[in-house]
Amino acid sequence: MSILVDRNTKVITQGMTGETGSFHTKAALDDGTAHVGSMDACARGLLIAAQMMKDGKVEKAVAKRYAKWEEPQNQAMLAGKESLDKIAARVLKSGLDPQPHSGRQEYLEGLLNTYI
């Protein structure tokens, strides 16, 4: 069976590495055939993203980390509906004294790495 390929044909090549794969890929490129490379990496990335969405661990961690931003006064800040003067007055009136705490960066990085 013969397959005719021209400059308008889309080609996906699996196994472009190694001596034989490199030879045939170079010949195809020399003939003007365009190639889509790294399809395995792209497919794996999509599978990983689907797993992350399915199990919800990352979404839960992000929601917990930014939970305070869902409060009405913080939503108003994010929407640009409060001036810095109004925000400063609210902080002074409430005696708000934010203390640094971990954003759990290492935990999130480790969580993401469990998918790879």
- pTM for the full predicted model: 0.52
Quick: pLDDT tens for 42-58: 788 889 999 999 999 99
Lowest mean pLDDT among 23-27, 64-68, 81-85, 106-110: 23-27
- Say how far apart CA 74 and CA 68 lie, in whole Å: 7
Quick: pLDDT tens for 82-91: 999 999 999 8
Domain boundaries, the chain: 10-47, 56-113
